[in-house]
Amino acid sequence: MSKRTILALALALAMVLGACADTPAAEDTTTPQETTAPSEETTVPETSATSEAPSTTAAAPGGPYEHLARAMAGEFTGTTVEVLAQWVDGEAENFEAALQPFVDATGIDVNYEGITDYETVLSTRVDGGNAPDIAQLAQPGLMRTFAAEGHLVDLSEWFNMEQLQNDYIESFIDLGSYEDGLYGIFYKGDLKSIVWYPVQAFEEAGYEVPTTWDELIALSDQIIADGNGAPWCISMEHGDATGWVATDWIEDILLRTAPVEIYDQWIAHEIPFDHPEVLEAAEYMSQIWFTDGYVYGGTAAINSTFVGDTQTPMFAEDGPQCWMHKQAAWIPEFWPEGTAAGVDSSFFYFPPIEEEFGSPVLGAGDQMVMFEDRPEVRALMEYLATPEGARGWIEAGGFVSPNQSVPLDWYSAYPNNELAAILAEADVFRFDASDTMPAEVGSGTFWNGMIEWVSANGENTDEIFGQIEASWPAG
């Protein structure tokens, strides 16, 4: 990926997320306009979804998309579309809620499966000629690999590109493209530079939210000195995707310790993967990950505890066993039953480190790609490109759509309004580095290298990062 594309993508997602900063406060009860809802004359057979997703009041739009309009007219009733993604548990429920209006309005059965060993399962199915109809990809590099191998459907050959260009900033279209074709539609955005903490317990212990790295380390030391357990909840077991949590930390810290140009050059491999600035970021990370007593369960727990369970000890009945958890806004979907985001835990901005590099923000996104070309599959892809295709998840919270036509008042709920406030103060925004690197590295040797690094308690930094550099594909 070129440095120009990386910069354009960063600007694009920042603009989409930043627009939320002007949304009403959470208590605003303004009713969103249903500008693309079908007329009352439209009649389609009623069907039940294969999943037990909660129903919503939203209606699937027809509008400028040919196959979606035909589906709304009942032309594809009784057909089935298979969708595969890495969204499980609460995230799966939210995605199914977003799909439900499409199922109800079209009579098309959507079989959704969320799995944890996602990259391995998807790649195995694709290589075995058993690809799903539609799949979610978090790594643009993997999309380019599938497209180069001829596995993906070129959406530009039939999609209403004029409507797509109206709804999406050009950079998102560029990132979903390979050579002269369009292969991915961006569906979901994430902001990663946040740290969750137990608000009430913090106040009762007399702790204050840190605003600098030094304050963050001092708070961690204070928690230990007070005998209040471990300062940090950290883990990264995620099946074949284990390791990505560590890559997020490296990237977020690098943006705080080096010029942003270094970050861009690192992604584009204009500098070595083990550049001194990157190794310095790893040393900062080591202060938290590998300091004795800092992490609940130590390094063994980091590699063995499922990412969805990372924060659970924070909600222990006898008080927090760990106090801070750096993770994106989707994590509340995995919290124990009865806990609520903004009540039992909220978040603060991951603090700056070196003042000269300001307050950067790290983000990411998921795109939907299409392996099988049938009319009903086209209809669902078109639906996912509309504002209504994301509405069910937006209203559940913790979701930002890259579609700039989404009404801003849909984002009035926590945590979207708080995320927007953080982004509004950002000096720099950049897309997740590992997701934009070649798949062999970003979701391969980088992830695996982090597992080895943690297993060695961070004592082999130069060796691990050197091995990742050596794995970078030629050309």
Q: What is the pLDDT of residues 327-364, one digit of tens each?
A: 999 999 899 999 999 999 999 999 999 999 999 999 98
- Digit-coded pLDDT (tens) for 428-457: 888 899 988 998 999 999 999 999 999 999
DSSP notation for 196-229: EE-HHHHHHHT-----SHHHHHHHHHHHHHTT--
Q: How far apart are CA 184 and CA 283, in angstroms?
A: 36
Q: How far apart are CA 44 and CA 72, in angstroms?
A: 7
Phi, psi (deg, nearest 5) at residue 210:
-75, 145
pLDDT of amino acid 423: 77
Is the predicted pLDDT of residue 406 greater than 70, yes or no? yes
The alpha carbon of residue 267 and the mean position of all alpha carbons in its chain are separated, in whole angstroms, by 18
Q: Six-digit token pair at 214?
A: 């030094």
pLDDT of amino acid 414: 84
Q: What integer is the mean pLDDT of 281-301?
A: 97
pLDDT of amino acid 143: 93
Least confident of 6-10, 112-116, 200-204, 371-375: 6-10
**Both ends of the chain: CA-CA distance in Å?**
12
- Rounded to two decimals, what is the model's pTM? 0.77
Q: Residue 132: which of 84, 88, 67 has the closest Cα? A: 84
- Digit-coded pLDDT (tens) for 156-165: 999 999 999 9
| CA-to-CA separations, 214 to 197, 218, 411, in angstroms, rounded | 18, 6, 33
Torsion of CA 454, 195, 277, 289, to 10 degrees: -20
Confidence tier at 422 by pLDDT (50, 70, 90) = confident
Mean pLDDT score of the chain, rounded to an integer? Answer: 87
- Digit-coded pLDDT (tens) for 119-142: 889 999 999 999 999 999 988 889
Q: How far apart are CA 286 and CA 275, in angstroms?
A: 17
- Digit-coded pLDDT (tens) for 16-61: 555 554 443 333 333 333 333 333 333 322 323 333 333 334 455 5
The alpha carbon of residue 317 and the mean position of all alpha carbons in its chain are separated, in whole angstroms, by 30
